[in-house]
Structure formats: C-alpha cells, structure tokens
C-alpha cells in the first residue's frame, strides 16, 4: 500500500525519502511539449469576465516582446471566441506533418496557433463540450511545433472554466497577468481569477487595467469613460502589482480593425513586459 504523508510533511515532496511511494504526492498532470518545441517562458493572460480586452493585452505584450527582439508565440486558447489570427490578418490554414502542426507566422514574426487556423470555415462555430475544448488546448501544447521561443503567451477564455483549469494543470505556466476594467464588478471578478491562480500555485505577475480612460485629442484631458478606477486599491488588497493602465486608444482599435496588429505600437504595457522578462 502507498505510504501517506506524515504530520512533518512540509507540503513539498522535494527531497523527501518517501516521495516515490507516497500516496499523498500531488499528481503531475503536465502534458509533454512537442519534441521540436523549446519554450523558455509560458505566460497566461486571464480575466474573470469577458470583453475586458484580454486578447488585445495578450497581443500587445507579444508585440512589445517582438519589438525587443524576442522570439514570441501566441496560443489562442479562446477556442469558442478566437480573435488573435484576425488581428494579425491571418486567414490561412495551418500546415501539419506527421511530426505535428506548424503555427502560422504573422508579419512581425509572431508564431500563432488558434482553432481558426485549423477550421475550413473560420466563421463556423465551435459547438463542442468543455472536455473536448480543453483537449484541443492540450494539443496546442503537445502537437504544435513551436520551435525555439523565448515567450509563449496564452490568451485564455474569460472566466475560470475548463480551459484555464487545463492550461494551469497541463502547461508549465510561469505566471499569469490578470486583465480587468474599471467597473464596480471588477473587485469580485479580479479576485476570482486571482484565487484560481493561487489555488493552482501559479505565480501572479500583476494586473493590467484596460479601458482606464480616454484622452481627449483636443485638450488632452483624461475622461474616465467607465467610471473611477479601483485597481490600485484592489492591487494593494491582494498584494499584487499594477503593471499598466491602458486607455481606450483609437490607433490600437484601428490596427485591430485593419488586421494589422503586427504594426501596432503599445507604449502602455512596457512595465508589464519588463515584469515578464
């Protein structure tokens, strides 16, 4: 019979003489990366609720890292609402061999994998149950030939469902960035995302507030379109860093609309990028 841990257990199995036979040892559910992938850091971008600009923040972080000369990939784990390929103007299908699937490469060199790159019709809905969707995300890790990457950003679906759970359990996530917006609900939803990452022992790198303000193009006055920000208080309360406050920026919105995000500049997330490095 497997031995159980004793009162002296520190919680970590490292260095314990009983670690091989202990029945209480946490199960490692990590999926193997593709044999041809060498990824230095995996960063998850999460949000407690939808529509806060998580995909935009993911792509902005990837752009900032590309500008700094790093090899970057984006895994679009938002299977039912994929938006990353379109932002970069990618509408082709990914190619596969018996070794795996090759990500598509954006004009700025960012490697991208998304369910939309595997579908014949990118407008066809994905009507799959949670475990199937979660399985696809694991395949994005095991079957995609990412090659050598400094950073892989994972654009998670909103909330705390099957996919974030699978990503946290199956991928070696080095840390998460929580994206939020300045609304009353925010405190509760940030805490949900925060608590999920904590419970899964994933380091929280900090929070980014999106839609923080709009700068008047005539007088430069900052208008709080979605109300007063509470992000600084929330960050203090949770003991996490505020990594950036992104305004509503028509130039960025245009880059998305024109499907030319590979050219977009985002000066608002420099400290978020530095925190990752």
- Closest of 88, 74, 66 to residue 45, by C-alpha: 74
185 contributes a contact to ligand ATP by CB under 6 A: no
| Beta carbon nearer to ligand ATP, 33 or 45 | 45
C-alpha 178/C-alpha 84 separation (Å) is 18
Cα end-to-end span (Å), the chain = 45
For ligand ATP, the binding residues in 186-245 under the rule CB under 6 A are 210-211
86 among the known binding-site residues?
no
For ligand ATP, the binding residues in 146-175 under the rule CB under 6 A are 158
55 contributes a contact to ligand ATP by CB under 6 A: yes
Interior CA angle at 108 toward 106 and 112, to 5°? Answer: 35
52 contributes a contact to ligand ATP by CB under 6 A: yes
196 in Cβ contact with 160 (< 8 Å): yes
114 among the known binding-site residues?
no
C-alpha 96/C-alpha 115 separation (Å) is 14
Would you tell me the crossing angle of helices 162-170 and 186-199 to the nearest 10 degrees? 30
| Beta carbon nearer to ligand ATP, 34 or 116 | 116
49 among the known binding-site residues?
yes
Which two tokens mark 229? 């920000």
50 among the known binding-site residues?
yes
51 among the known binding-site residues?
yes
Which two tokens mark 125? 């809905």
Which two tokens mark 39? 């990824």
248 contributes a contact to ligand ATP by CB under 6 A: yes
**Of the candidates 256, 259, 270, 271, which one interacts with ligand ATP according to CB under 6 A?**
256
78 contributes a contact to ligand ATP by CB under 6 A: yes
63 contributes a contact to ligand ATP by CB under 6 A: no
What is the contact surface with ligand ATP in residues (CB under 6 A)? 47, 50-56, 78, 81, 83, 158, 210-211, 246, 248-249, 252-253, 256
């Amino acid at each position: 019979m497997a031995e159980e841990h004793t009162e002296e257990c520190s919680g970590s199995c490292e260095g314990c003489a009983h670690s091989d036979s202990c029945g209480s040892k946490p199960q490692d559910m990590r999926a193997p990366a593709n044999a041809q992938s060498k990824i230095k850091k995996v960063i998850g971008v999460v949000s407690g609720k939808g529509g806060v600009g998580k995909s935009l923040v993911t792509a902005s972080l990837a752009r900032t890292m590309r500008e700094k000369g790093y090899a970057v990939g984006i895994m679009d784990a938002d299977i039912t609402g994929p938006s990353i390929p379109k932002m970069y103007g990618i509408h082709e299908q990914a190619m596969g061999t018996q070794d795996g699937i090759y990500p598509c490469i954006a004009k700025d060199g960012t490697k991208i994998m998304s369910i939309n790159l595997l579908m014949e019709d990118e407008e066809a809905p994905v009507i799959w149950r949670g475990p199937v969707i979660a399985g696809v995300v694991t395949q994005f890790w095991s079957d995609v030939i990412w090659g050598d990457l400094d950073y892989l950003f994972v654009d998670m679906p909103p909330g705390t469902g099957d996919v974030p759970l699978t990503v946290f359990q199956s991928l070696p996530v080095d840390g998460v960035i929580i994206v939020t917006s300045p609304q009353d609900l925010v405190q509760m939803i940030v805490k949900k995302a925060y608590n999920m990452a904590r419970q899964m022992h994933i380091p929280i790198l900090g929070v980014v507030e999106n839609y923080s303000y709009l700068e008047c193009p005539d007088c430069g006055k900052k208008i709080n379109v979605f109300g007063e920000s509470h992000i600084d208080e929330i960050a203090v309360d949770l003991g996490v860093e505020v990594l950036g406050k992104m305004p509503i920026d028509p130039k960025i919105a245009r880059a998305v609309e024109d499907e030319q995000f590979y050219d977009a500049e985002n000066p608002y997330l420099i400290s978020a990028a530095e925190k990752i490095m």
